[in-house]
Each structure stands twice: as structure tokens, then as C-alpha cells.
């Protein structure tokens, strides 16, 4: 697994995944208090998808994220202080404290505003891809979506439009097996999602093991083709969320999934695997730097002011 990447790449990928994991764990730790002002949908366990997809992107490329978007936001380079301040509802947050966890945005780093309504980011991402194609600069769009979003009509409509216009967009389905509490086995007559997508003439690949390096390689290959006018592609990345659908806790006593499922995914946790391939001193150095960065972001959020009363009517209309 590790032979195909350099030491520098291993360290970078490990740092990106570990940073997301530690940020999410800090959010979970803080959440029971009165600091965080919005619901949170944590990506703990799903970090490999966001990092594998975002690592080969260029700074000028665009990502479109969902309400479970913390991981992709951070993997693409979104501001951590602005992220934490947004969860705190502070004026220095990425959306001025008005959006919260489900509406992260950082246009400076190529992150379109997230939507909390399932599937609604998909046509927005396709529209942005159309704009980039017309621009002609070789930039691309990545659209993250969950398995539940594939059941929305706009998913099929956007796939058809992207294929018809040969748009530079990679659709990434983070298939964690559940739409809230309903497993795919109760929702899909067939689990051949890639076969369904391929009927639109879109190359579709299933990555079932959650291997961050395999995801990264597949994404990099798709990007190279897209930048040459090859049109859209689709990746189905099987993954697993370790925490409850919304909130900081576990929910294995709720009766809809088993701890054995969790343990199977934990046994191939990509952070642990990649970390084990690093020198212990390098790993400790990276972990210490992440801890310091998170502490600084939390302090920034806590010290930042709440939006003023004058902000009640701002950002309502275009200015």
C-alpha cells in the first residue's frame, strides 16, 4: 500500500486525515456545552474520502460540499479558525456566524457554500462546472454527495446535463451505507450504483475498501482526463461514519446498525494505517502541530464577537 507514495506524500496525507479527525473529535468534546450553536454532522471515519479526493486538486479548483462537509472543507484548505468561529456563531466565522456547521463556505479556497438540503448542491456544482468550461482555463469541480442524495431527481438530471455538455466535474458519492437510519438494502433494489451512472456515458468507478491512496489515484486519473476536455466522471467511495447521524455521540444501541460493522471499518482505519508507516518522531511532530493549531482555532472562536444587530438584515439581498 505505501510503496507508491513518497515519504513527503505520506506525511502530507496523514496530516490531512489526522487533522480532520482531531478537529471533529474536538467538536464532539465541545458540543455538549453551550459553545457550538448549530447541529453537527461529523465525518469521523470518513476522512480518507475527502483527503484522497482533494489532495490531487489544484488550489484554483472548486469543491461543492454537503451538510456533512467538515472533512472536505478542511481537506480543500478551508480556514480552520473561520470554521470553528462559524460553529460558535461568531462574526469571524466563514458565513459570519449565520450559517453554522451545515453552511460552510470559503470561496478564497475554492469551497462553494454548502447546503443542508439533500442533493441541492449537485446542480449548483454542475452549473459552476459549465461556467468553468466556458472559461477555458482547465479548472475542474468536485461535487461531494451522500448515497441518500442519489435518490433525488436532481441527481439524474445533473448527471445527464454534465454528460451532455461534457462538463469538467467529478461526482463523488460518499456511500456510508445509510441515509440517516435507513440502510441501502432497504432503499435500493440494486446496489449497482456505478452501473446506473454509466448509462449516462459517464465513467464510473467503485472504490469499496476505503483505501485513501486508491481513492487519490482514481481521482488524479479522472482530473487529468477532465482537464483535457474528457467530460465528467463518477466515483463511488464506500466509507463508514463512526458517530451518530447528527451529533457527537455513538448510536449503536438504536437498533439500525451493529457495532460489528464499526469494528470492521476501524480495523482498516486509514489514519492508523498511514500513521504506522511513519517514523514515530515525525508522527508525534505532526500530531503536536495539529493540536496546537486546533487550540489556537478554538481560542480564536471563543474570543471573537457575535454578529452585531446591524447584521440581522445584511446578506439578504445582493449588494
Instruction: Look up the pTM and report it.
Output: 0.96
120-133 pLDDT tens trace: 999 999 999 999 99
User: Residue 1: which pLDDT band, with cuts at 50, 70 and 90?
Assistant: very low
251-267 pLDDT tens trace: 999 999 999 999 999 99
- How many angstroms separate the Cα of 307 from the Cα of each of 38, 167, 314? 15, 39, 11
Between residues 229 and 316, the one the model is more confident about: 229
**All domains of the chain in start order, with CATH:** 7-298 (3.40.50.970)
**pLDDT higher than 80, residue 39:** yes
Q: By mean pLDDT, which of 86-90, 176-180, 307-311 is the weakest?
A: 307-311
Buried-exposed string 111-144: b where 16+ CB fall within 10 A, e elsewhere = bbbbbbebbebbbbbbbbbbebbeeeebbbbbbb
Torsion of CA 196, 187, 103, 254, to 10 degrees: -150
130-160 pLDDT tens trace: 999 999 999 999 999 999 999 999 999 999 9
DSSP code for 263: H
Q: How is residue 46 written as a grid cell? A: 470518513
Phi, psi angles (nearest 5°) of residue 89:
75, 30
**pLDDT higher than 80, residue 319:** no
User: Residue 234: which pLDDT band, with cuts at 50, 70 and 90?
Assistant: very high
Between residues 311 and 143, the one the model is more confident about: 143
Mean pLDDT of 161-169: 98
**pLDDT higher than 70, residue 303:** yes
The number of beta carbons lying within 10 Å of the beta carbon of residue 102 is 20
Mean pLDDT of 291-317: 94
3-state SS class at 158: helix
Amino acid at each position: 500500500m505505501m510503496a507508491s507514495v513518497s515519504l513527503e506524500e505520506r506525511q502530507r496525507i496523514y496530516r490531512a486525515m489526522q487533522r480532520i479527525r482531531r478537529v471533529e473529535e474536538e467538536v464532539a468534546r465541545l458540543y455538549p456545552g453551550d459553545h457550538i450553536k448549530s447541529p453537527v454532522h461529523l465525518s469521523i471515519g470518513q476522512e480518507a474520502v475527502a483527503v484522497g479526493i482533494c489532495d490531487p486538486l489544484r488550489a484554483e479548483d472548486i469543491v461543492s460540499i454537503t451538510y456533512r462537509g467538515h472533512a472536505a472543507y478542511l481537506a480543500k484548505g478551508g480556514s480552520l479558525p473561520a470554521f470553528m468561529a462559524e460553529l460558535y456563531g461568531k462574526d469571524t466565522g466563514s458565513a459570519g456566524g449565520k450559517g453554522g456547521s451545515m453552511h460552510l463556505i470559503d470561496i478564497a479556497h475554492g469551497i462553494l457554500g454548502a447546503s443542508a438540503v439533500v442533493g441541492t448542491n449537485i446542480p449548483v456544482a454542475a452549473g459552476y462546472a459549465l461556467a468553468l468550461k466556458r472559461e477555458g482555463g482547465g479548472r475542474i469541480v468536485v461535487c461531494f454527495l451522500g448515497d441518500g442524495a442519489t435518490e433525488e431527481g436532481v441527481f439524474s438530471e445533473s448527471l445527464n446535463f454534465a454528460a451532455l455538455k461534457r462538463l469538467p466535474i467529478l461526482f463523488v458519492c460518499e456511500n456510508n451505507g445509510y441515509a440517516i437510519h435507513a440502510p441501502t438494502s432497504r432503499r435500493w433494489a440494486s446496489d449497482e450504483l456505478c452501473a446506473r451512472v454509466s448509462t449516462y456515458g459517464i465513467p464510473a468507478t467503485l472504490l469499496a475498501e476505503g483505501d485513501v491512496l486508491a481513492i487519490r489515484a482514481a481521482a488524479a486519473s479522472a482530473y487529468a482526463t477532465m482537464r483535457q476536455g474528457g467530460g465528467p466522471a463518477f466515483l463511488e467511495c464506500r466509507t463508514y461514519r463512526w458517530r451518530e447521524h447528527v451529533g457527537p455521540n455513538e448510536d449503536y444501541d438504536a437498533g439500525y446498525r451493529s457495532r460489528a460493522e464499526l469494528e470492521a471499518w476501524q480495523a482498516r482505519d486509514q489514519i492508523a494505517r498511514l500513521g504506522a508507516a511513519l517514523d514515530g518522531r515525525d508522527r508525534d511532530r505532526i500530531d503536536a502541530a495539529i493540536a496546537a493549531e486546533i487550540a489556537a482555532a478554538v481560542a480564536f472562536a471563543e474570543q471573537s464577537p457575535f454578529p452585531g444587530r446591524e447584521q440581522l438584515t445584511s446578506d439578504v439581498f445582493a449588494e
